[in-house]
Amino acid sequence: MARTLTFDIFRYTPQDKDSAPHMETFVLPETPSMTLFIALTRIREEQDPSLQFDFCCRAGICGACGMLINGRPDLACKTKTADLPERITLMPLPIFKLVGDLSVDTGRWFREMYSRVGSWVHTDKVFDPLAQEERMDNALANDIYELERCIECGCCIAGCGTARMRQDFLGAAGLNRVARFMLDPRDQRTETEYFEVIGDDEGIFGCMGLLGCEDVCPKGLPLQNQLGFLRRKMGLAAIKRFLPGKG
Q: Which residues of this chain interact with ligand SF4, rule CB under 6 A?
A: 150-156, 160-162, 171-173, 176, 207-213, 217, 219, 221, 227
87-91 and 97-100 beta bridge pairing:
unpaired
Q: Kindly tell me which of 28 and 204 has the beta carbon lying closer to ligand SF4.
A: 204
Q: Considering only residues 38, 65, 93, 207, which one is a binding residue for ligand FES as defined by CB under 6 A?
A: 65
Q: Kindly tell me which of 28 and 202 has the beta carbon lying closer to ligand SF4.
A: 202
- Distance, CA of 65 to CA of 93 (rounded, Å): 10
Q: CB atoms < 10 A from the CB of 244, how many?
A: 5
Distances (CA, A) of 178 to 213, 223, 231, 236, 238: 16, 12, 12, 16, 17
Q: Considering only residues 28, 64, 69, 98, which one is a binding residue for ligand FES as defined by CB under 6 A?
A: 64
Q: 77 contacts which partner out of ligand SF4, ligand FES, none, CB within 5 to 8 A by kind?
A: ligand FES
- Distance, CA of 21 to CA of 28 (rounded, Å): 23
- Distance, CA of 199 to CA of 237 (rounded, Å): 9
User: Contacts with ligand FES in 83-142 (CB under 6 A)?
Assistant: none
Residue 211 Cβ, how far from ligand SF4 at the closest point, in Å? 5
Q: Considering only residues 43, 63, 84, 152, which one is a binding residue for ligand FES as defined by CB under 6 A?
A: 63
Distances (CA, A) of 35 to 42, 63, 145: 11, 16, 29
| Interacting residues with ligand FES (CB under 6 A) | 55-58, 60-65, 75, 77
